[in-house]
Structure 1
Amino acid sequence: PPDCYFNIIGFGSTFELLFNEGSKKYKKESLEKALEHQKTLSADFGGTEILEPLVSVYSKQILPAHSRNIFLIIDGEVFNTEAVVSLVQKHSHDTRVFTLNTGEGASTTLIKGVASAGKGKTEFV
């Protein structure tokens, strides 16, 4: 949407943000940077450690008059599914989480649990 803010976080054993200083308003320049960035993305961050990136997102304040939605694209499993789902549930009053499974190795318990806890939807592709 025209007045939204966004960021892209690559994650695995570590994580990195496209916009380190925080989410950027959707406009031509930020969209172009995101499109260039997505061309370089690859699944090379190691394991699937999603808890710390989520903690990072949840630690940021929600901008006034905006909602926060997380679109989690995942293709693996985590060792701490319960902790991830619990964290998402804890923040479900102000943040919705949607999940997209892009591989056969993803945990359905994680994908469905996070989407349910985050009052979002899940898709398997």
Structure 2
Amino acid sequence: MNYKIIAIFTLLLLVFEILAGIPFGIWLAKDGFISNSQIFHLGTYIAGFVVEFIIFYLLFIQKINKPILHALIIGFLYWVIGDSLLYVLAGIKFPPLLVVIDAVIIVSAISLALYIAKIKGQLNVYT
């Protein structure tokens, strides 16, 4: 286990997810009714998925031992810290369905990044 890698990639994931969410926050601030739009939610989920995929792909091309375990720990930490920060800072209480959707997006991003890294032959496993 490389705790430095876990800390760095968790921080990268949190920062880039926040940066990806800024345009949606500006859009929401300009039109308060947009929060009921399915397109708005789809856009935020797609932006989050793309950022997670890129970060996990970058993790999988690093030469580390047990990259899948590292990715699962990073995904779990991001999930817990991100949802906790939104609750503490913005007062947003997540419904259970949103928590499940976040988990599915994270697992899907990890799976796709692992699959692409394996196909391209860039999955580096330190043994």
Higher share of residues assigned strand: 1
Coarse TM-score class (shorter-chain normalised): 0.3 to 0.5
More helix by proportion, 1 or 2?
2
**Which protein, 1 or 2, shows the higher relative CO under an 8 Å CA cutoff with sep ≥ 6?**
2
Instruction: Give me the TM-score of the superposition, normalised by structure 2.
Output: 0.34
User: TM-score if structure 1 supplies the norm length?
Assistant: 0.34
